[in-house]
Amino acid sequence: MPSLEGKKKVRNWKNLAFKFAEKCKGLPIAAKTLGSFLRFKESKRHWQDVLESDIWKAISIVDNPVLPALLLSYNDVPSHLKQCFAYCSLIPKGEWILKPFTIREWMAQGFFSNSLAARNEDINVVGDEYNNLIMRSFFKKDITKSRAKSEYYQMHDLVHDFAKSIAENECFMLIRNSTLLEPNIYLLIEDIKVIPSFIYMAKNLCTLKIFGWIPSISFELFHHLSCLRTLSLGDTYLKELPNEAGKLIHLSYLDLSKASFKELPKAVTSLYNLLYLNLYGCRNLCKLPEEICRLVNLVNLRLTECHQLSYLPEGIWKLSRLRHLSDFIIGPGVESGECKIGELKDLNFLEHSLLIVGLERVENGNEAKMACLKNKQHLCALYFHFNQYTGVAQVDENGSDEEGEYREVEEEQKEEKVLVVDGEGKTIAGEETVGVESKPEGGDEEVDIGGDMLLKRMEDVMENLQPHTNLEKLIIRDYLGVVFPNWMDSHANFMMFSNLVFLELNGCRKCKQLPPTLGKLPSLETLAISKMDEVKFMGAEFFGFPKLKVVQLDAMWNLEGWDLRIPKEEEGKQFIFMPRLHYIAPIELPNLRSFP
């Protein structure tokens, strides 16, 4: 039984809680914000101080019951987080917020200490600061849209209004024919076709975000806006970036996504302080400047969906601070100045996912070994594409990597017509998606891939691409070898990949059997197999899979049987056959006669 003193303490806490509840006037957002703030106050004395704050007297809770709670919580955060929160007023109401993208913009503005970046901890450590704002209910997570590592957030309209009021003298959103009345530091312009003339006078501007169809920009703009740290021209379909952009010596964040130009101007390589360069969806981009290796402070380079880009320039290894490189495109060896896979050797801070395109161009296993993928402990997803095809995975494991966030995920799914299945067996991408193209009548044409020497070379290359054991996702496309590497075929070696949750084998047309140890992978949840023309039977390799949820078999034209009978030599042993399986998707299997 609680003591009398204990009952008194509980009663005192309850009395305080009731008084706070009265101040919320029945509004859930006010109660949530105030409660989130009070979680940081551990003693009754602190709660009493909050209750007696002058803010309750200065602001009428009758007219605005949410504002005092927001202001109390805002005043309680460190100064650099105040800047971060105010900066979020540039995000349009209702817009989805993705954690890594927001953090990058904060860092580009210099809201965090230089020592943080110097320790090379950047986005991971700053993420804890972001979580502080989440715990205070400034951001709310959308649980219906968030999947696995892709966490989507929004700001409540009242919180957004509060952020705008805090930043009213610094942040401004301009829509169509609005007029800028004050000299602002951060500016977002929406739905325009011509840059307003008064922007040329905003010489103290640090952030300029433009959304609209603006294929050309006057070089004079960059003469005036010399203080810019963030320049976002994404989705403007820019046809040419003036060379004068190279004079923006303070620029840290440059978004040129979906631009229409064919070459990135050499002037960009003069931006010594550039941290983030986004070229997503620049489908006409054929070439990066050879001097791009001068951007030694670059930590993020996005090249997703740059279909015309046939190689990266030689010297990419000099960008040793890179933490996010979406695509590594191996040069064909036709021209000088093309990068080779060995340039990955010194890029040991790479995180999240990496797509390596053009592996068929690697000369031998020794060259592949120079990439030192075993040392890339921070990479959780690897895509091995042996040809120039840069599509996305057929099946997505209830979430995506950091690459492909925001609109990219939906657009890639639509463009590539992929089947996307979650761990519960639900189709995410919609009914219009299909797995692969239909097989033409008369069968596939036999492709001449260069004979036995090429096959052996590819097997040697693959053998030397062994990843780090931290890997969670592996996709292999258009592998030209007959057998899989020892690190996949050997039980002892493949079991090292105990963290692997997603595996796709696509277009490995010469392989006659699947890796025999597949079923022993302890964490595998999603398995996608397609276009393996030489595989006729599947059997014992499918025993096990303690956590497998999703299996997709697609375009296995010659697959005749899937036999789960226990081999004679294994009789008497206890087997478990995919106990957690939720979903099987057999697609385009015309010769399959037996199915478990």
In this prediction, residue 382 carries a pLDDT of 97
CA-to-CA distance for 406 and 96, rounded, in angstroms? 8
Q: Which of 156, 145, 9 shows the shortest CA–CA distance to 73?
A: 156
In this prediction, residue 503 carries a pLDDT of 96
In this prediction, residue 502 carries a pLDDT of 96
52: Cβ–Cβ under 8 A, 6 or more apart, which residues?
A: none
Three-class SS of residue 38? Answer: helix
In this prediction, residue 568 carries a pLDDT of 61
CA-to-CA distance for 551 and 364, rounded, in angstroms? 33
**Contact (Cβ atoms closer than 8 angstroms) between residue 130 and residue 142:** no
CA-to-CA distance for 283 and 266, rounded, in angstroms? 18
Rg (C-alpha) for the chain, rounded Å, is 28
DSSP 338-361: B--GGGGTT-TT--EEEEEE-GGG
411: Cβ–Cβ under 8 A, 6 or more apart, which residues?
A: none
CA-to-CA distance for 488 and 496, rounded, in angstroms? 10
Six token digits for residue 408: 């990219």
582: Cβ–Cβ under 8 A, 6 or more apart, which residues?
A: 423, 424, 425, 549, 550
CA-to-CA distance for 365 and 481, rounded, in angstroms? 13
**Phi and psi for 586 in degrees, rounded to 5?**
-85, 115
Q: What is the pLDDT along the chain (596 residues), one digit of tens a residue?
A: 455 455 455 566 777 778 888 878 778 888 888 888 888 887 888 888 888 888 887 776 666 778 888 888 888 888 888 888 888 888 888 888 888 888 888 888 888 765 454 444 456 666 677 788 888 888 888 877 766 667 788 899 999 889 888 877 666 555 554 554 444 577 777 666 777 777 777 788 888 888 778 888 888 888 888 888 999 998 888 888 888 999 999 999 999 999 999 999 898 999 999 999 999 999 999 999 999 999 999 999 999 999 999 999 999 999 999 999 999 999 887 667 889 999 999 999 999 999 999 999 999 999 999 999 999 999 999 999 998 744 444 554 444 444 444 333 433 333 333 344 443 333 333 333 333 344 434 444 444 445 789 999 999 999 999 999 999 999 999 999 999 999 998 766 667 888 999 999 999 999 998 988 888 889 999 999 999 999 999 876 777 788 999 999 999 999 998 876 666 655 666 666 788 999 999 999 999 988 77
Six token digits for residue 51: 């209750």
Three-class SS of residue 394? Answer: coil
Q: Which of 467, 542, 519 shows the shortest CA–CA distance to 497?
A: 467
CA-to-CA distance for 314 and 343, rounded, in angstroms? 8
In this prediction, residue 567 carries a pLDDT of 60
Please give the model's pTM, rounded to 2 decimal places.
0.81
C-alpha dist (Å) from residue 459 to 10, 248, 455, 479: 70, 47, 6, 9
